[in-house]
Structure 1
Amino acid sequence: MKISASRVRWSLVGLAFGVTTVIGLAPMVSATNASDSAVVAAEADLPALKLFNQVSLGDGFVQTLYATDASNRPKVLAVRIDAAAVNTLPTTPTHDGQTCFDKDGDGINLETDCASGHERNLWFPKLPGLPFKWLMFNWQRNGHGPTHVFDKPHFDFHFFIQDFTERNKIRTGPCNLVINCDDEATAMKPVPAQFMPAGWGMPGAAGRMGNHIVNPNAAPANGDPFTQAFAYGVYDGHVTYWEPVVNKDWVVATKPTKVCQPITQAPEVELSGYYPTQMCTRYNSAGDVTFTMENFVQRTTPSGS
């Protein structure tokens, strides 16, 4: 297989928030699973966080962490990018080759035939009532579509409800953002109204991921500055992941001690459990970036759904 990163063209259409596949070049990463006794320092306003999973990124790492109450119910889910990783984020090539499709039949070009930026997959603990199973983290050096919305360097945090193996069945192909055209049609199926916030739209399907739904009246889709944003991921008419998106340059430039925003909730959920109602971004004195899902509430699936 010919791999070239020298030809640069960015013509992928639609909205995308980072995708993954087994086609192309897999990055060299190390993974660590931590025991429940691995407690790490947290920002002063957070409870003590337990380290669960860690993978390498640049000269540093990305971690998944969590905190629970006395009954082992989720209080905080966190993703931390340490200062060493923030300062050495991969820049060349744009994509690491995990989501690719040879559109022109001339071999894979990591700049034009791929998506997802630099991707890492991590896991969450199996807490009672926690719907999120794993995390797909993406560093997007050049951002992605749509233009003037998410086309800035940023981090994507995909909190997946969908099983990892089921996600992997969403194939790459020539449609939209490197997605199989039949799978794109499946991804674009509407979600029943009770399971999606009213008025959300701007769909765009991605290989090894599915469709994305955002609030067109919220930043940055409405033209306001891109700091942090939120999307719901959907496939085959179901919500499959929750996705915060954070502007890397904003974090590094402003060094927010704590910036939070509420997560718009759908009227109902398909799966009973504990769901976060707030997301926050923090930059600590060591230069680490910590993203959190907080203020979990119990929600119950409506009878007969």
Structure 2
Amino acid sequence: MDTEKYVPGISVDSNGHPSEIGIEITPEAFKNLETDNSKTVPPDGETIVVPLQLKATELTPFDHIGLNWNPHGHEPAGVFDVPHFDIHFYMISAEEQLAIPAWSPETDAAFNNYPPIGYMPADYFTPPGPATAEPQMGKHWLPGNLGAYLPFSKIMIYGSYNGKFIFVEPMITLDYLLSDVDFSANYSQPEHFEKAGNYPTKYNIYHDAVSGNTYVTLSDFVARN
């Protein structure tokens, strides 16, 4: 999975405010995806770090994008166990993100040290213990009405680690990305934000018929205090 096939970008309006941030996926990125774990490059679930441009880090809370290809999906079985991409928009540095350890009894406290009430969407949840705790990612939060997103094709995930909200994550199946069906939807927002800045409220999936490129973006930014 070559990083040059996944190109980050930001759009800015005439007033200098961010209008859209995301990643452009070229057709070549889909051509040689392996579904055999022994041949997957990078290995199943390993994170590819995609740096953002300076303007993107200045105008939004995001530092970089973490891209994961899951050829067989992941737990829970019967929910997310189909080939899909995890596209994490991180609000911590790549060094901090990659230093997040695997869950163990010793690291449980950091994974399950949740942000204060109001700093995650009220309609999202995460189970206690090791479920949804991932190394180099953090604790994953799911919509409370998870059944409304099944069978899984696309969903917005939140993430936290050691008391902080650290990422938003559009998770999208390979079948949906290849379907050329455009999509745009609002997603739930926290009541409070640790850092002031421009935060997106919508995620989008769309395609360019001329280039064949696929775009996964965040848009409709709102200034938060």
TM-score normalized by the length of structure 2: 0.87
Deviation at 1:180?
Answer: 4.1
Deviation at 1:185?
Answer: 2.7
- 1:251 paired residue number: 177
Checking the alignment, whether the CA contact within 8 Å between 2:36 and 2:71 is kept in structure 1 is no
- 1:294 paired residue number: 219
CA offsets 1:245-270 (integer angstroms, 9 cap, x no match) = 01111232x321x2111121011111
Paired letter, 1:226? F
Q: Gaps spanning 5+ residues in structure 1: where?
A: 1-26, 30-54, 99-109, 173-178, 301-305
Please point out which of 23, 32, 39 is paired with 1:79.
Answer: 23
Paired letter, 1:85? A
Q: Gaps spanning 5+ residues in structure 2: where?
A: none
- 2:116 paired residue number: 192
CA offsets 1:33-88 (integer angstroms, 9 cap, x no match) = xxxxxxxxxxxxxxxxxxxxxx24xxxx1111111123432111121111111122
Deviation at 1:226?
Answer: 1.4
- Partners of 2:39 and 2:194 in 1: how far apart? 34
SS at match of 1:86: helix
- 1:170 paired residue number: 100
Please say which of residues 238-247 and 62-71 is displaced more in the overlay: 62-71
Percent identity between the two aligned chains:
25
Please point out which of 32, 38, 61 is paired with 1:88.
Answer: 32
Deviation at 1:89?
Answer: 1.6
Structure 1 pair 198–94 and aligned structure 2 pair: CA distance change class (3 A):
farther
Structure 1 pair 205–95 and aligned structure 2 pair: CA distance change class (3 A):
farther
SS at match of 1:293: strand
TM-score normalized by the length of structure 1: 0.66
Please say which of residues 243-252 and 221-230 is displaced more in the overlay: 221-230
Q: Aligned pair 1:266/2:194, yes or no?
A: no
Bigger helix fraction: 2
Checking the alignment, whether the CA contact within 8 Å between 2:126 and 2:139 is kept in structure 1 is no
Aligned residues: 218
Checking the alignment, whether the CA contact within 8 Å between 1:148 and 1:223 is kept in structure 2 is no
Structure 1 pair 95–130 and aligned structure 2 pair: CA distance change class (3 A):
farther
Deviation at 1:223?
Answer: 6.0
Deviation at 1:222?
Answer: 4.4
Q: Greater Rg, structure 1 or structure 2?
A: 1
User: Aligned runs of 1:1-305 on 2, under 5 Å?
Assistant: 29=2, 55-56=3-4, 61-93=5-37, 116-117=45-46, 119-127=47-55, 128-172=58-102, 179-203=103-127, 204-218=132-146, 221-222=147-148, 224-252=150-178, 254-256=179-181, 258-285=182-209, 286-300=211-225
SS at match of 1:195: coil
Deviation at 1:158?
Answer: 0.4
Structure 1 pair 190–214 and aligned structure 2 pair: CA distance change class (3 A):
same
- Partners of 1:191 and 1:94 in 2: how far apart? 38
Checking the alignment, whether the CA contact within 8 Å between 1:149 and 1:223 is kept in structure 2 is no
CA offsets 1:242-301 (integer angstroms, 9 cap, x no match) = 11101111232x321x2111121011111110011110111332432211111111111x
